[in-house]
Amino acid sequence: MSNINNERIDETVFVNGDPYVNPTIQILQTIYNLEKYDFDKLINGKSYLNQAADLLYGICAGLFINMVVKFFGSKVDKDIIFDKWEVYAFFLSLALLIIILFFDHFIPSKKKQVIKKIKSHFNI
Amino acid sequence: MMVVEKYPANLKPLNKLVLCSNTFLGDGKVLVIKNYAPIVIGDGIVPSIWITVKVNNEIIPVVTNNKSSNPNVKVDIYEQLREVKIFGDGTLLIHAKMTAEKECVVNELDFRPLGLNIHGDCNVLNLASNKLTNNIFGNNDIHIVLDN
């Protein structure tokens, strides 16, 4: 704690102390007014590429499980045949997914626009 | 060099600000807490006021150039008297008045409702537990830094 009285000061003064007390007013960030149009775009505004990517996630996961199970299964049970194409299929779908995600990153969509608008509002 | 975030870019600086008995000369930043300026006053027909607080490590503008962005904070402008009064939930937060060209005086200040331990009257400026009375701050980039 310091008292500074009747002085002429020509440089930056550093004073110590806790600047904060409990506020009695609720400090809110400015509310973002989400309109129905924007909300709809958030829910349904995905680009076609993004929808295709969603589908490919599922395909990739399915092929991966199929590949792993068949590989280990073939070691245990001679009746299960593990084919090379199952590995190719998995990697092909994975490559396709990566390509689609890459392009989707650069292609604008309504959903991205709305998210960008909200982010800039909140300075995120 | 201190970095002051969200400092108003379009501020028209004052030549002289009398804030609770202390005189600040020049266009420097009156008060800085770590990396933001809670109170900024600029020139205009009435004083142009910016109030900024920090909540949860986020710097939030409450009043921007006499426009409140908080529903609980009201800005009253009296152009003929060249005065601005800002109220928070009915409590006077600041009363600023232009006394001459580029000169402004603040004799009532209370930011405690906003959660900042900054308050004063025409005799003393309280910054946390520090008391500043009748000082003259010369031309400087930043006049006061408050930090714990």
Neighbours of B94 (CB within 10 A): 26
The upper half-sphere exposure of residue A29, i.e. CA atoms within 13 Å in the direction of its Cβ, equals: 14
What gap in Å lies between CA B66 and CA B94, rounded to an integer?
Answer: 11
Q: Average pLDDT of chain B?
A: 93
Chain B residues within an 8 Å CB radius of A27: 53, 55, 60, 62, 70, 114-115
A5/B70 CB distance under 8 A: no
Instruction: For chain A, list residues whose CB is within 8 angstroms of any CB belonging to chain B.
Output: 1-30
Looking at per-residue pLDDT, the higher value among A30 and B135 belongs to B135
ipTM: 0.87
pLDDT of residue A29: 62
* Segment A72-120, tens digit of pLDDT: 999 998 888 888 899 999 999 999 999 999 999 888 888 888 999 888 8
pTM of the model: 0.67
DSSP per position, B76-140: EEETTTTEEEEEETTEEEEEEEEEETTEEEEEEEE-GGGTB-EEE-SS-EEETTEEEES-EE-S-
Q: Average pLDDT in the B84-88 region? A: 96
A5/B69 CB distance under 8 A: no
Chain A residues within an 8 Å CB radius of B35: none
Between chain A and chain B, the number of residue pairs with CB atoms below 8 A apart is 120
